[in-house]
Amino acid sequence: MSSIDEIKARLKKNWYQFINENSKRFTKKIIDGSSPPSLFVGEYGYPHVRVGPMVPPYHGDTSILDKPELWLGKSMEEIVNYRLNLLKGTMIHKVNKISGRYIESLQDMALSKRAVETTMTLEKIPSLFLNDMILSNSNPSEIPVIFSAPVKEFKIFPSNSDEKIEKKYYDGDLLASDAVVELYDNSVDMTSITKVLSMGMLGRRKNRKLVPTKWSITAADDIVSTHLLKKIKNNTILDSYLVFTFNHLANYYSIIFIPDDVWNFEMIESWIDTNGKVHIGSDYESGKNIDHYPSIAGAYFAARLAVAEFLFKKRRMASVLILREIHPEYFVSLGVWQIREGIRESLKLKGKKFETFDSALKYGISKTSLSIREWIQNSSIIRNRKQKRISDYLN
C-alpha cells in the first residue's frame, strides 16, 4: 500500500485536474448536472438543519458517485474522488416541515431509480479549496464534501421512480420501521432506503420528518438487523467456531462466530493513529439490543447488519465477536458503508473452522497487530465466557 503522503498527493492532483476541467462551470451561480441521485440532511443545528441535493457539474450516468454498494474493490482515491465531484447545495429547513417545492423536488429525486437531471441556482459562487485539514478529517461517518453553497432555486427533470419505494411513500399508516424492513425484504439496497428515510418519506404521515443522513444510516442498519436477529433466534446452532478475516481499505477485520443459543454481539475497534498510538473502543450486547448509543457509533449497527444477514442466510444461530483494526492509511473516514460492505464481502469467502474458542480467537488475532492481551482486556464477550448460565444447570 502507498504511504499516506503519496495518497494525499494523488488526491490533490486529481482534485486540481477536476477543477481545471470544470473551471468554467464553477464560476457561475447556476450549476447543472445529473445527480446520482444524492441528497444530504445535516445534523448541525437540529431541528433546523441544512438539507439539499448533491450534484456533479456534468451529465450522464453518475450513479456510482453515491452508491456504496458498488464501491467494493475501489481504492480510497477513487472513493474520495466520487465525493469530491459532488457540489452540495444547502438550505436551512425545520425537520418537521416537509412540504413545499424544494423539499418535494428532493423527495422526487430520492425516489428516482437512476440519475436525475438537475439545475441548481446558488446564492453565491462556491469557494473551492482542498486543504490538509479536510484530508485528515477524523469525523467517523462522513466523507468530506469539499464544496457547498446555499441554494436559491432547485429544479429537477423527473425520471422513473422506484415503484417498491413509491408504494411505501404513499402508505401513510405504515410505521417507518416496518417500511424499512419491508423494503429490505424486497431487495431494496440500504443506500436507497436511507435516502427516503432521511427525506421524511416513510412512516405514519403525521410523524414524518427529515432525518440527518448520518442518523438515517444508523437507524436503517439498526432496524434491519434487529428484524433479522428476531428471525435467527431459533435457528440451529452453528456446529463449530468460524473465523473470517478481511482487509478493506486499511481496515483489518476478524469476524469470529461462536456457537451459542443466546445472541451476544461485540465489536472492538482499535484505531492506530499516525504516531503509532492505539485507541480502543468497544460495544456489546447480550441477549437483546444494546440499550445505549454505542461508543463506536454507527459502525456497530453496520457490522451487526452484515453478520445478522449471514446467519439468516445460513439459517444458523451464533454469537459474534468482531475485531476491527484501523490502520493509519485509512486517514479519511469513508463512512460506515465501508464496514457493512467490507464485512458482507468477507463473509462470502470461506471461513476457517475451529473446534475451540481459544484456537478461533488466536487465529483471528493473528491477523491483527494488537496482542491477545490487549484484545481480551477490552472484550466483554471474552470476559463473560467465565460467566455460566442458568441453562447450564437445567438438564
Partner 1 sequence: MVFLAKTKSPDEWKAVTSAISTLVDEATFEATVEGLSFRGMDPSHVALIDISWPNSAFDGYECDSALKFGVRIDEFSKLMKRAEKKDAVEVSVEENSLLHIKILNGYKREYKMRLIESTGGSTPLPKLNFNSKIILTPASFDKILSDIEVVSEYISIESDEKKITFSGKSDSGEADIIIESGSEGLEELQVKETSKATYSLDYLSKITKAISASGGSLVLEYSTKMPLRLEFRVANVGRIHFYLAPRVQD
| Residue 120: closest CA among 89, 98, 148 | 89
What's the sign of the alpha-carbon dihedral 215, 220, 223, 228? negative
Give the nearest distance from C-beta 261 to partner 1 in angstroms. Answer: 8
Interaction between residue 390 and partner 1 (CB under 8 A) = yes
Interaction between residue 385 and partner 1 (CB under 8 A) = yes
Could you tell me the strand order of the sheet in which 39-41 lies?
30-35, 116-122, 148-157, 87-94, 48-55, 39-41
Measured from the CB atom, is 350 or 388 closer to partner 1? 388
**Could you say which of 124, 206, 373, 386 contacts partner 1 (CB under 8 A)?**
386
Give the nearest distance from C-beta 260 to partner 1 in angstroms. Answer: 10
Window 171-200: residues binding partner 1 (CB under 8 A): none
Q: Three-state SS across 324-378?
A: EEECCCCCCCCCCHHHHHHHHHHCCCCCEEECCHHHHHHHHHHCCCCCHHHHHHC
Stretch that binds partner 1, among 186-194, 195-203, 347-355, 385-393 (CB under 8 A): 385-393
**Site string (331-370) toward partner 1, x via CB under 8 A:** ----------------------------------------
Interaction between residue 124 and partner 1 (CB under 8 A) = no
Measured from the CB atom, is 247 or 384 closer to partner 1? 384
Given the C-alpha cell 469530491, which residue does it identify? 84
Window 225-264: residues binding partner 1 (CB under 8 A): 262, 264
Strand partners, 39: 53
Q: In what helix (H) or strand (E) does residue 91 lie, and over which residues does it extend?
A: strand 87-94
Stretch that binds partner 1, among 92-100, 150-158, 211-219, 381-389 (CB under 8 A): 381-389
Measured from the CB atom, is 175 or 297 closer to partner 1? 175
Stretch that binds partner 1, among 112-120, 208-216, 328-336, 383-391 (CB under 8 A): 383-391
Give the nearest distance from C-beta 387 to partner 1 in angstroms. Answer: 5
Interaction between residue 287 and partner 1 (CB under 8 A) = yes
Q: Could you give the 3-state DSSP secondary structure of residue 141? A: coil
Q: Supply φ then ψ for residue 60, to 5 degrees.
A: 125, -165
Q: How many of the other CB atoms lie within 10 Å of CB of 264?
A: 18
Q: How far, in whole angstroms, is CA 85 from its chain's centroid?
A: 19
**Residue 164: partners with Cβ closer than 8 Å, 6 or more residues away:** 183, 186, 188
Give the nearest distance from C-beta 187 to partner 1 in angstroms. Answer: 30
Measured from the CB atom, is 114 or 288 closer to partner 1? 288
Give the nearest distance from C-beta 46 to partner 1 in angstroms. Answer: 27
Checking DSSP bridges between strand 87-94 and strand 352-354, what pairing results, if any? unpaired
| Residue 147: closest CA among 267, 268, 57 | 57
Give the nearest distance from C-beta 389 to partner 1 in angstroms. Answer: 4
Three cell numbers at 175? 410505521
Stretch that binds partner 1, among 147-155, 161-169, 188-196, 386-394 (CB under 8 A): 386-394
Q: Which residues lie near partner 1 (CB under 8 A)?
A: 262, 264, 286-288, 385-395
